[in-house]
Amino acid sequence: MRILLALSVSVLALVPAGAQKKNPGAGSQPKLAVSIVVDQMRADYLTRFAPLYTGGFKRLVTEGQVFRNAHYTHTPTYTGPGHAVVYTGTDPSNHGIIANDWYDPALGREVYCVEDLEVQPVGSTRDADRRSPKNILSTTWTDELEWASVGAAKVFGFSLKDRGAITAAGHYGDAAFWMDDQQGFVTSSHYASELPQWIRAFNAQHAPASYLKGTWDRLLEPSVYAAFTGPDERPFEGKLRGSAAGSFPYDLATLGAGNPGLIRYTPHGNQILIDVALAAVDAENLGRGTHTDVLALSFSTPDHLGHLMGPRAQELMDVYLRLDRQLGQLFDALDARLGRGAYYVSLTADHGSCDNSNQAALDGFAVQNWSGKDLDAQFGALISGLDLNVPGILHVGNDQIHLKSTDDDDWERVRDALMKHPAVRMAWTADEIRNGCDPKAEMRRNAFDARSGQVFYELASGHMDYGTDGCTHGSGHAYDTHVPVVFMGPGIPANSQRWERVHPRDIAPTWSMLLGIALPSSATGDPLPLK
């Protein structure tokens, strides 16, 4: 919580005015930093639909600098680790968020990345909202901004997902707000003892259910979508809950009756985030103080819908076309409130996504979809046939296996057994992860610590451990690691593209340099060359 920062502000107030100094360069800095993460946005979404963009995505490309070849350097590539990389500037082995959920051998159970049983939900009564950043083992660039401004900077993180908001707000942010499908935006006692009045008013007027009205149809003519994606209803695309067909149009009023969580799968999931962000700008006077404030947004709808329908669905294309316009709405509103050129923006994603393996196989690609339960059972059968000194599996997850054995000979036997599975491209022991030179082993080392397993594996490219429909992510293959990185703002080259390989962990050091603040405590990334 922010008690120490409040005390620091009180002490600073006792210092003569002439002795108080601003941050280096603070007088010329824009007053708002807008940090945007689009959950599951593949890098090619920025170019694939580019001819149709007219709003925020077009403005970012034409007025900002785009890094076309940005890749994550860790595995697994999930939401929690990716967001934490963006804000800490380092890999999961350093920031501690090694997955969305992980098995903790010391506790003998799975741990959720932002769970905190010592805090209470605020704005809801759900145990699922007992959340905080306590598992993040590094400061974030937003934390460093709070320290540099002695608590004067305002930092707000918003997302439909708790982990998307909390990793952004960090340990010392003013608040992280995430969405309860029934109540609206909530937080935890780590950040506040009660919801601010403006959030309560927003929730009363903008309940998630209130957005589920009318019909969701394509923004443009059907022929435009067919040219980019093919048919509307394709094999292996999931369907919205309650819908008999996976094709436009959708009667949201009918489908959303008693199911406010449907908003997460529609363009309205992005719109409610835009709406609450602008409410925060007005209620908290963001960008109008003496220090740079932060508005951090994580758009979860592309991930929810992407998992359900996959990257070739017309519905996903429509969500991106509408998100382009919604970001344009955000930028236009900030222009009107603060002035054009009075704020910086960064945009990236927490991971990409694969194509559906079943669909790819129909198109002639030699890949296969594997049911998670079946894969676990097949691995178990391979391992059970081994003569191990200490037999037994504690846990399988995140492409790694926790064994009961501490014998490295047993680990090697299990590794070799997994290599016999037709889906497995490569497997490693924990010792090989620690010491190996294989680039894919290094990616796992970047998310390795004492909580990790003893044997790791990677499915071959294009193979998917998931349900029949939709898509997933988590691998170290390019379709999961390759994401957009864009910076826009005063002094940043407009309409500029760079193709050298960079990394999302470079985003936090770039913000630190732009704002003249310290690097996050565990940062290993390098500032991006904004020139």
| Residues tagged active-site | 79
- For residue 208, how many other CB atoms are within 10 A of its CB? 25
Phi, psi (rounded to 5 degrees) for 222: -55, -35
With contact defined as beta carbons under 8 Å apart, do 395 and 106 qualify?
no
Q: Which helix (H) or strand (E) holds 432?
A: helix 430-435
- 75: its two tokens: 């595995």
The sign one gets for the Cα dihedral 309, 314, 320, 323 is negative
**Distance, CA of 7 to CA of 72 (rounded, Å):** 38
Residue 115 has what DSSP assignment?
B
With contact defined as beta carbons under 8 Å apart, do 95 and 163 qualify?
no
- 294: its two tokens: 């932060």
Tracing tokens 């898509």 back to the chain, one arrives at 471
Peptide linkage before 76 cis (omega within 30 of 0): yes
Longest dimension (CA), the chain: 76
- Beta strands 482-488 and 32-38, pairing class: unpaired
How far is residue 499 from each of residues 66, 77, 323, 425, 443, measured CA to CA in Å? 9, 22, 25, 29, 21
How far is residue 323 from each of residues 39, 76, 314, 318, measured CA to CA in Å? 12, 27, 14, 8
Q: How many residues does the chain have?
A: 531
With contact defined as beta carbons under 8 Å apart, do 172 and 96 qualify?
no
**Distance, CA of 35 to CA of 157 (rounded, Å):** 9
**Distance, CA of 474 to CA of 76 (rounded, Å):** 5
Environment class of residue 194 by beta-carbon count within 10 Å: exposed (0-12), middle (13-18) or buried (19+)?
exposed
Residue 168 has what DSSP assignment?
H
Ranges of beta strands (E only) in 133-182 are 155-159, 175-180
**Distance, CA of 202 to CA of 210 (rounded, Å):** 12
For 149, residues 6+ apart whose C-beta sits below 8 A from its C-beta are 23, 291, 292
DSSP letters for 71-89:
E--SSS--HHHHHHHHHHS
